[in-house]
Amino acid sequence: MTSQAPALLRLSGVSKRYGAVQANSGIDLAVLAGSIHAVLGENGAGKSTLMKMIYGVEQPDEGQILWNGAQVQMTRPSDAQALGIGMVFQHFSLFETLSVVQNVALMVPGKQADLAAKIKVLGEQFGLTVDPGAMVHRLSVGERQRVEIIRCLLLEPKLLILDEPTSVLPPQSVRLLFATLRSLQEKGMAILFISHKLDEIRELCDEATVLRGGRVTGRVDPRQHSAADLAKLMIGHEMPKLDAAKTRAAGEVCLSISGLSHRPKTRFGTALQSINLDLRAGQIVGIAGISGNGQQELAALISGEALSERAEMITLMGQKVGRMGPAQRRALGFAFVPEERLGRGAVPEMSLADNSLLTAHRLGMLRGGFIRRAAERAFTKDCIAEFDVRTPGPEAEAGAMSGGNLQKFIIGREIMLNPKVMLVSQPTWGVDVGAAAAIRRRLLQLRDQGAALLVISEELEELFEICDILHVLRAGQLSAPLQAANTTAQDIGAHMIGAQA
C-alpha cells in the first residue's frame, strides 16, 4: 500500500523477544491519516506486544518506528501521548471508587469543572454520552469504555489505538461505538483497531494487517475479502467446523434453580434477584451477558463454593443442595470448570498429575487415604492424550502451561469424571481459535452422551453455536429462557443492555 504523503505511523522491521518467545519479528505496518486500520490475529499472535511498542510501553529490539516520516524513540507512554497517540486498553484502567471526571483529571490537566464541561461537549459530538459526576463503579461496561475513549480524546490524539474494544460490549453498544469511530475518522483521526472478530473488521476497517505467530501474514482490504479468507490468513488453515448440533429430546430436569436471591459480601459484588432456571439431561443451557452482572456469584452458588440462603433454592439430581458444600454436590454427579484456571481450577505450583487429584481423587486414586501415584499418573496421561493437551508430561507444572492447554486439561479432567451435570464458566476465555473449537466439540459430545450442561459465557457466537436454550444475566436478574434456534444476537443484545420489549 503506497501513498504520496508519508504515513502517519510507519513500522519497519520491528522485532521483540521475551526470553524464549519471539513475540514480534520483522513487522512492517503503515497507518495513514484518516484511516481505520485493523490489526487482526489470534490470541497470542503478537498484537498486544506490537501495540505496547507503538504506545511506548515496550521498546523494540530491532527495527524503526516512524511518525510522520521521522524516526522516533519512545521510552514511556507519555512520549507516545506527546506525539499524539492515544490508547484504550482491553482491560480498563479506571478507579472504581472515583467519579468519571476525577478519573479523567488524573490523566488530563485542567480544572475538574472545565473537564466536566468538555466531557459533555465531546460526548454530544461523538455519541459518547456519559455523566461526568457519576461514580465509575455504577457505570456499565459500555459506559466505562466511553470514559476511556473520552479521556484519550481530551488529549487530542492523531492516532487512537483500541485493543479488542468490542470483546466486552453487547451488540447494540458495538453499533454505537462504530458510529463514534466513523465520526472520528471523518475528522481526520487515524484509528488502529485490534480485534480477532472478522465480521466487525470487514464492516469497519479500510485496511487490515494480519499477524500470525508474531509475523505479518497478510495486508488486505478487509472489505474485499470474505470472513473465511481472513480466518485462513489469521490461523493458517481453514476454520475448524463443528458438527451441526443434533436436536434431541431433552430428558428429565437435573438442575433446578428456583427463587434464588443472594446478597453480595462486598460493595462491588452483584446481588442476584430471584433467579429461576431448569436444566435437563441432554441439553446445553447458556447464560449470556457481560461478566460482572452476577456471573461469578451465580457460578459460586451453583458449585457450592457459596451457600444459598435456603436448601431448596437449588435442586441437583432431585436433592436440595443449596446448603451443601462443593464436595457433596460433586458426589451427586456435578462437575465444574471455573473461569479462573490458575489458583482455582488448578494449583499453579503443582504438577498436572497432582492437579488431577484435585477433583478426580474419587476415581480410585486413594487407598486408605494414601495417594496411588500409578492411578494418578494413568488418569493424567489419559487426559493429556484424550484432550490433546500439549505438554511434556504429567510432571509439568500447571502454572507453566499456556492458557488454552491448561483449559483443555481442566475441561478434560472434569469430563472424565462422567458428570451428570456440568457447569462451565467462560469455556474459551483467552484460548486460541483451534483449542476453542476443540473445547466446544467436547462439550457437545458430553451433551450427546446425555449430560446436562450449563455454560456461562460472554461470547455470543459461542453460545449460539452450542446451546439449545439461552438466558441472559443482567444486573443480577436472569431472563426467561429463549430457544436458541428462534433467537437472534439482537434479541440477546437487547436483554444485555436491558432494552428488551
Partner 1 sequence: MRLRLVRRDTASRMAMIAAPVAALVLSCLASLILFALLGKPAGAALYALLLKPFLTWYSFSEVLLKMTPLLLIAQGLAIGFRANVFNIGAEGQFIIGAICASALPVWYPDGAVPMMLPAMIVAGALGGMAYALIAAVLRTRFGASEILVTLMMSLIAVQILNYLLLGPWKDPRGFNFPQSVMFPGNALLPILLPGTRTTIAFAFALIASALAYLMMQHHFRGYQLRTAGLAPRAAGYAGFNAPGMVLLSLALGGLAAGLAGASEVAGPLGQLQRSVSSGYGYAAIIVAYLGGLNPIGIVASSFLISVIYIGGDSATVSAALPVAAVEVFQGFLLVFYLLTFTSIRYRIEVASPQGSGAR
By CB under 8 A, name the binding residues for partner 1.
Answer: 18, 21, 23, 44, 48-49, 52, 57-59, 75-77, 303-305, 325-330, 336, 338, 340, 342-350, 354, 357-359, 361, 366, 369-371, 397, 400
Q: Which is nearer to partner 1, 150 or 365 (CB)?
A: 365
Least distance (Å) from partner 1 to the CB of residue 391?
A: 13
Beta bridge partners of 190: 159
Q: Which is nearer to partner 1, 120 or 361 (CB)?
A: 361
**Half-sphere exposure of 293 toward its Cβ, with a 13 Å CA cutoff?**
27
Q: Which is nearer to partner 1, 26 or 127 (CB)?
A: 26
Q: Which is nearer to partner 1, 127 or 399 (CB)?
A: 399
For residue 304, give the DSSP letter: T
Sequence-separated contacts (24+) of 240-243 with Cβ below 8 Å: 240/433, 240/434, 240/437, 240/438, 242/437, 242/440, 242/441, 242/444, 242/465, 242/466, 243/441, 243/444
Whether residue 255 contacts residue 452, with contact meaning beta carbons closer than 8 Å, is answered with yes
Q: Which is nearer to partner 1, 228 or 331 (CB)?
A: 331
Least distance (Å) from partner 1 to the CB of residue 396?
A: 9
* Mutual angle of helices 403-415 and 373-386, in 10-degree steps: 110
Question: What's the rounded Cα separation, in Å, for the pair 129 and 124?
Answer: 6
Q: Which is nearer to partner 1, 135 or 347 (CB)?
A: 347
Q: Which is nearer to partner 1, 163 or 207 (CB)?
A: 163
Least distance (Å) from partner 1 to the CB of residue 245?
A: 29
Least distance (Å) from partner 1 to the CB of residue 216?
A: 18
Question: What's the rounded Cα separation, in Å, for the pair 164 and 408?
Answer: 24
Least distance (Å) from partner 1 to the CB of residue 337?
A: 10
Q: Which is nearer to partner 1, 433 or 489 (CB)?
A: 433
Q: Residues in the chain, how many?
A: 501
Least distance (Å) from partner 1 to the CB of residue 258?
A: 23
Whether residue 291 contacts residue 299, with contact meaning beta carbons closer than 8 Å, is answered with no
| Residue 285 main-chain phi, psi, to 5 deg | -105, 130
Least distance (Å) from partner 1 to the CB of residue 300?
A: 9
Which amino acid type is present at position 431?
V
Smallest Cα–Cα separation from 294: which of 496, 78, 45? 496
Beta bridge partners of 70: 67
Q: Which is nearer to partner 1, 92 or 178 (CB)?
A: 92
Least distance (Å) from partner 1 to the CB of residue 126?
A: 29
What residues contact residue 125 under an 8 Å CB cut-off, 6+ apart?
A: 183
Question: What's the rounded Cα separation, in Å, for the pair 461 and 466?
Answer: 9
Q: Which is nearer to partner 1, 359 or 479 (CB)?
A: 359
Whether residue 252 contacts residue 280, with contact meaning beta carbons closer than 8 Å, is answered with yes
Beta-strand relationship, 70-71 and 62-67: antiparallel
Rounded to 5°, angle at Cα 317 from 313 and 320? 30
Least distance (Å) from partner 1 to the CB of residue 285?
A: 21
Q: Which is nearer to partner 1, 176 or 358 (CB)?
A: 358
Give DSSP secondary structure letters for 181-248: HHHHHHTT-EEEEEES-HHHHHHH-SEEEEEETTEEEEEE-GGGS-HHHHHHHHHSSPPPPPPPPPP-
Least distance (Å) from partner 1 to the CB of residue 386?
A: 21
Least distance (Å) from partner 1 to the CB of residue 77?
A: 7
Torsion of CA 133, 134, 136, 141, to 10 degrees: -130
**Which three cell numbers, joined as nine digits, stand for 235?**
490461523
Q: Which is nearer to partner 1, 200 or 354 (CB)?
A: 354
Beta bridge partners of 478: 473
Least distance (Å) from partner 1 to the CB of residue 368?
A: 9
Least distance (Å) from partner 1 to the CB of residue 13?
A: 20
Smallest Cα–Cα separation from 350: which of 297, 416, 398, 302? 398
Secondary structure of 129-164 in the HEC alphabet?
A: CCCCCCEHHHCCHHHHHHHHHHHHHHCCCCEEEEEC
| Residue 208 main-chain phi, psi, to 5 deg | -140, 135
Q: Which is nearer to partner 1, 347 or 378 (CB)?
A: 347
Question: What's the rounded Cα separation, in Å, for the pair 269 and 263?
Answer: 8
